A and B are shown apart, each in its own frame.
Chain A
């Protein structure tokens, strides 16, 4: 058992699709066909053929007094036709070797049974062993599609709610604050905070342009914390309906000459850092270009505080707006 079902690693789990997940979440009764047309065992094959033709059935359960006796499929009808034996009762040709599934089992159980057998349809039983429906692969596809559709609407709803957050909540001054601790030298996660901030802004309904400007400014600030600080620092983003205030602060070592640091091309980055593509001396210059207001306060005793503000609902005359 253990060797047959090895544990799925996190890496593999990444590739599990939402449809596969749903196969475990959905129950058979949610996707099966209820109110199934049932045949009686004494019914003639001829009659069954007429019904199948008229109703476009490819199979139907055979039931007597509420008990499932078998399944008659098109294949059984063909067999009877070939043997020219259409006058006999359905119970002569029906499949009695029954494989059933339970209505409360997850859909994946039905999928497994389909792959292990050649059956095109499976009777679905309740806890008392009474037939409550039939499930086909088509039912499963339709059920999964419906569930994916529901997921999609739910995601749209989340987006809608997030983008109306500020309208829904009334206060004297509403704001949403995001905080990220940035570790010194953590190049592996460099850019994660800025990516997350950009995504949050898009969800909240910011335009792609505003989200991109914030993303670039915060990215440069984030990389500065990773590259230049003694112990790392903190990014704090406060989102209000009319403006976004971004703040990067650390406890050292501080910038000796702020004017010099603001000069394009000036950099104190080490050679190792430069080899990774940093240290162009453009970080602060980039930030200035992306935001509406920028303030850099630094001292060798207290470290550095960088404030960046982007105003929203600006008419598009702002020369600093990029693309």
Chain B
């Protein structure tokens, strides 16, 4: 499904540079707050739901070619993290909702695990 559809349905805030999200495909979802688990479990062109907002999430998303990171519970990445994400073409989205609710919405939209 298109990332644009997810952003609109879940009313997500785009923290990185805006771009045409209708061309970004999302093929699966994954959730964890442990980086190595994400390395194991997340798939390319997937969306990663996490509570973590520190800089290390960017490298993980870039290495895995993820379509986007959804940061939950309004956790705020710092400016350096957002700058790094923009540099590496990683999309960071934000929502006040917790992981559980976000995954529920994504599931309802038809998104599944890889």
> Which A residues fall within an 8 A CB radius of B?
187-188, 190-192, 194-195, 198, 208, 212, 215-216, 219-220, 223, 276-283, 285-286, 289, 323
Instruction: Decide if the interface of chain B is mainly helix, strand, loop or mixed.
Output: helix
Given A277-B33, A282-B36, 20 more A-B residue pairs with CB atoms under 8 Å apart are: A190-B55, A190-B56, A191-B58, A191-B59, A191-B62, A219-B39, A220-B36, A276-B52, A276-B56, A278-B34, A278-B35, A278-B36, A278-B56, A280-B36, A281-B36, A283-B36, A285-B40, A286-B36, A289-B40, A323-B43
User: Does B1 sit at the interface, judged by CB under 8 A?
Assistant: no
Evaluate whether A219 and B55 lie within 8 angstroms (CB atoms) in the complex, with A285-B40, A289-B40 already known: no
Fill in one digit per residue for B21-54: 1 if any A CB lies within 8 Å of its CB, else 0: 0000000000001111101100110000010101
Tell me whether chain A's interface is mostly helix, strand or loop, or mixed. Answer: helix
| B: interface residue count bin | 20 to 34
What total count of A-B pairs have CB within 8 Å? 74
Report B-chain residues with C-beta under 8 Å of the C-beta of A279: 34
Give the residues in chain A near B92, CB-CB below 8 Å.
none
Known A188-B55, A212-B44, A323-B44; judge A282-B62 contact (CB<8 A). no
A188 to B81, CA, bound (A): 9
Q: Is B113 among interface residues, defined by CB-CB distance under 8 A? A: no
Binding site for A on B (CB under 8 A): 33-37, 39-40, 43-44, 50, 52, 54-60, 62-65, 80, 88
- With both chains docked as a complex, state the minimum distance between the C-beta of B28 and any C-beta of chain A, in angstroms: 11
Query: What would 12 A/B residue contacts be, using CB atoms closer than 8 Å?
Result: A187-B54, A187-B56, A190-B56, A191-B60, A195-B63, A208-B65, A212-B65, A215-B63, A216-B63, A219-B60, A279-B34, A280-B37
Contact assessment for B59 and A280 in the assembled complex, using a CB-CB cutoff below 8 Å: no
Given contacts A277-B33, A282-B39, contact A187 B55 (CB under 8 A): yes
B39 smallest CB distance to A (angstroms): 5
